[in-house]
Amino acid sequence: MKIKVLTFGVTRDIIGEDVLFLDLPAGSTVADVRTHLTERFPPIEKLASLMFAVNAEYATSEAQLAELDELALIPPVSGG
């Protein structure tokens, strides 16, 4: 299945793209994407924290992804 990954802040600098398309096995979870991205972009591991949102809602590591989901990488936020 295809999912769309959005990068923000420092994750965009690390990955070098605003958007990344991944082709994953059916049943993949947020944790699987984290593992994939960390292997491909090791500096991801050095972030103070990394959260994920699926379709604009915070998601846990166990959340299963579906075809065409939009997964956003949320490094430490610093609004305000």
Interface contacts to other proteins, rule CB under 8 A: 6, 8-10, 13, 46-48, 53, 56-58, 72, 74-80
Please state the closest distance from residue 74 (CB atom) to other proteins, in A. Answer: 5
Instruction: Give the separation between CA 67 and CA 4, rounded to whole angstroms.
Output: 9
What residues have CB less than 8 Å from 44, skipping those under 6 apart? 11, 14, 34, 37, 38, 50
Please state the closest distance from residue 76 (CB atom) to other proteins, in A. Answer: 4
Q: Which residue has the tokens 């991205």?
A: 37
Q: Which is nearer to other proteins, 26 or 56 (CB)?
A: 56
Please state the closest distance from residue 46 (CB atom) to other proteins, in A. Answer: 6
